[in-house]
Amino acid sequence: MKKQRFWSLSRLLLWGHIVGIVTFYLALWLRTRPPKEERLQQLPPAYQAPFFPEHHPLVSIILPARDEERNIRRCVESLLAQDYDNYEVIVVDDGSTDATPHILDDLLATHPRRNRLYVLRLRDELPEGWAGKPHAIHKGAQEARGSWLLFTDADTWHAPAALSTALARATREQIDMLSYGTQQELPGFWEKVVMPLAYMGIMMQYPPRKINDPLSSIALANGQFILIRRSVYDILGGYARPDLRDTLIDDRDLAHIVKWSGFRLRMFDGRDLVHARMYRGLRDTWRGWLKNAFLGSRGGNAFTLLQLIGLPMISIVPFLLPLLLWIRWLGTRLVPGKEQTGTFPPCTKITPAELGAVTLLELLPLLAYKNWVDRELRVPWYYAFTFPLAGAIFEGIVAQSAWRVLTGRGVDWRGRRYFKTKA
């Protein structure tokens, strides 16, 4: 009988994949975890007066809103409840067709702090060459009187100390643009499944330590909370700049301009200060990430192709491969003549001990990293086992997002279609 080789092609492929999985998640952890010396600290619950100048600067909070009847009241009420004593709230109603205008009218008429609230209603069609949100923020900034501008989204809730804490930190550390990482509210099943994988993708491409490193070219901000000096915004030209007018990734692109122009950009952990519920259900989640998945990628077409190939390898195969190997091994136990050996046919020759090692090495690094991400997002531990489902969903989102942009079909958002191409 011919002697069988231990290292068959199938075994080489198997162990090559295992080494790849272990290396990927180890590298991802080292890349994305905040370093101890620069960990994004949770900020204090209220500002410290000594950090401010004698005259508290006026802050203009600019909130673009289009068809936000589900969120607008909670958001505006939280903004009007800030413990800072010198601010104004400018809501830019960007042609809403739902109940948003009526809710704003009610707040203007009944809220105890209605004197701080101003509603700017955009009636005209969106000008050529503009995307909706940059245009709304631009219009709001034109009305703003503050020496600081705070941009936020209608799906957010702000703790009373959110503004004062951010302004204190920016003043103390001479920061030109400060952004918060926010607590994501994920009450539904699909949000808990999809958002951790989205979070992983963002951190992989935009590591927090690189964002806060002035020597790194990587820049990112979270549009749910961006505090910027008015002087810096004006020097840069704001969203009226030709390269920002039509952006669909307005927060990231503004952060790039700020950092590349030599101003100081910082991002902090503000999860106890600002909450956001971005999407509701699978359809809403799919549509939301469809807008950003391709255009928000740093690596261009080549990286998108790598994503489409690699995403199943790091999210689906690690669960599927050990299962298939165990099924095949159990099947050989029923084949006459194989009861005593408990191995695959000679061409593969995988033993139960090796199967156990395969299962452990495939799943342990994945589940460890996924558990860390889930804890950061306050997702129950058992959702780690929905990771293959999340991978399949995001595979579809990335593929459709790339296809719609590259074929010129455009992406839809808030009742408008944009034909932005990859920069």
SS3 percent helix, strand, coil of the chain, rounded to 5, is: 50, 10, 35
What is the model's pLDDT at position 197?
94
| Least confident among 96-100, 162-166, 192-196, 287-291 | 287-291
Token pair, residue 371, equals 């558990």
Strand ranges inside 38-155, DSSP E = 59-65, 87-93, 117-121, 148-151
For 228, the 3-state DSSP assignment is strand
Q: Does the domain made of 41-182+222-281 have the CATH classification 2.60.120.920?
A: no
What is the model's pLDDT at position 264?
97
Burial class (CB in 10 A: 0-12, 13-18, 19+), 423: exposed
**Of 279, 309, 302, 166, residue with least CA distance to 227:** 166
Per-residue pLDDT at 344 exceeds 50: no
What is the dihedral angle through the alpha carbons of 124, 128, 133, 136, rounded to the nearest 10 degrees? Answer: -40
For the entire predicted model, the pTM comes to: 0.88
Give the domain ranges of the chain: 9-30+302-409, 41-182+222-281
What is the model's pLDDT at position 347?
42
Token pair, residue 274, equals 């600002």
Q: What is the mean pLDDT of residues 66-85?
A: 96
Q: Residue type for 71, please?
A: N
What is the model's pLDDT at position 297?
83
Q: Which residue bears the tokens 């800072």?
A: 84
Q: Are strands 265-269 and 177-181 parallel, antiparallel or unpaired?
A: parallel
The listed range with the strongest mean pLDDT (24-33, 34-43, 266-275) is 266-275
Band of the pLDDT at 224, cuts 50, 70, 90? Answer: very high
What is the model's pLDDT at position 349?
60
What is the model's pLDDT at position 378?
94
What is the model's pLDDT at position 355?
74
Chain segment 355-403, per-residue pLDDT in tens: 778 788 888 999 999 999 999 999 999 999 999 999 999 999 999 999 9
For 64, the 3-state DSSP assignment is strand
Q: Which residues sit opposite 267 in a β-bridge?
A: 179
Q: What is the mean pLDDT of residues 158-173?
A: 94
Strand ranges inside 221-353, DSSP E = 226-229, 265-269, 274-276
Task: Compute CA distances 119 → 98, 111, 148, 334, 379, whole Å.
Answer: 16, 13, 19, 74, 36
| Whether the Cβ atoms of residue 209 and residue 285 lie closer than 8 Å to each other | no
Task: Compute CA distances 376 → 181, 199, 368, whole Å.
Answer: 11, 10, 13
Alpha carbons 387 and 379: distance in angstroms, whole number: 12
Per-residue pLDDT at 319 exceeds 90: no
